[in-house]
Amino acid sequence: MYHLLIVDDNKINLSAAKKALSKNYKITAVTSGAQALQFLQNNTCDLILLDINMPEMDGFEVMERIQSSPDRSDIPIIFLTSDNDPQTESRCLEAGAMDFISKPFVQNVMLSRISRVLELEALRRDLAGQLEARTMHIKYIQEMMVIGMATMVESRDLSTGGHIKRTSMVMKIFAEKLSKEKDFLSKSFLDMVIRAAPMHDLGKIAVDDRVLRKQGKFTPEEYAEMKNHSAEGSRIVRQILEGVEENYFVDIASNVAHYHHEKWDGSGYPDGLSGEEIPIEARIMALADVFDALVSKRCYKEAYSYDNAFSIIESSIGTHFDPQLGRIFLKCRPELEALYDMVSIEQE
């Protein structure tokens, strides 16, 4: 049964409305805007019948306050008014009301208008749900495509097998620690950084096999070619995500790809950014990326011990890494060791 909130300072009108509607709907009746707002703090309803002319707080102010609440802003509102002035009707609709009902009430008219608004609202919610489900499905397919592309790129690179999966797991551990240590990094932001992590090396798809698959150290010319992957990755990420993902996430993913090889002291690439010029999402990714490179076996080196790897990270704080982020990353050591011990067992 639909739940209606009726707000009217006139108790006779309130009683008449309750009598007309109580057979069809659950009714909550209050006599002021303040009481309505208090009710909505801990409750919700399917429709509000709101008187315009009330002392202390009129219907328009009550509606404005309801609409400013993220959890209540989508409740449809029908104004109740004894004013038949066309300007009043226009103001009601401009304010966002779904309809208005004239007083004194005509029961059949009132029931018809309420029924119509509730049907429209049910249809809107159904369409919104379908749209959200379809959007989520599209995003899931897109994410799987991106991860598939990243995995394909990694399969070409003989030195970094499993890097995408491991760095993604490192980022989850690091993000959990950051959420407890740095209040200004919201959960939604950190979730986006985690989602962006698998895309950080997508630009390697544009690197020639003779460089990408080389076993051994690069010549200066080869290294210069390899460094192009960061800017190219940013371009590819934007090309894939724009128009499907929200701009904020596109920027984060692009920054992760573009700037994760920048260094705090300005000696990184591709743009030689330093300090807080480097987007924080890229500074976070840099720690996960380097840590995995240190503790993983590559064609040109053996895996470093945990002691050695964490010592290198610590000594690079303030030169390679953001000092504050670097110190927080070091606190992840128990969880990271447990993760890589588990990965090692699974690979045996």
Name the CA radius of gyration of the chain, rounded: 30
Residue 16 in tokens:
């008449």
The dihedral over CA atoms of 331, 333, 338, 344, expressed in degrees to the nearest 10, equals: 150
Give dist(CA 225, CA 212) in Å, integer: 10
Phi, psi of 202 (to 5 degrees): -60, -30
Whether residue 118 contacts residue 46, with contact meaning beta carbons closer than 8 Å, is answered with yes
Residue 44 in tokens:
């919700």
Entry field: residues in the chain: 348
3-state SS, residue 13:
helix
Helix 187-196 and helix 163-181, axial crossing angle in degrees, nearest 10: 170
Nearest to 36 by CA among 75, 84, 70, 83: 75
Instruction: Report how far apart, in Å, the C-alpha atoms of 129 and of each of 73, 122, 126, 132, 146 are.
Output: 17, 11, 5, 5, 25
Catalogue the active-site residues: 204
| E runs forming strands in the chain | 3-7, 26-30, 47-51, 77-81, 99-102
Q: In what order do the strands lie in the sheet with 99-102?
A: 26-30, 3-7, 47-51, 77-81, 99-102
Give me the residues paired with residue 29 across strands: 6
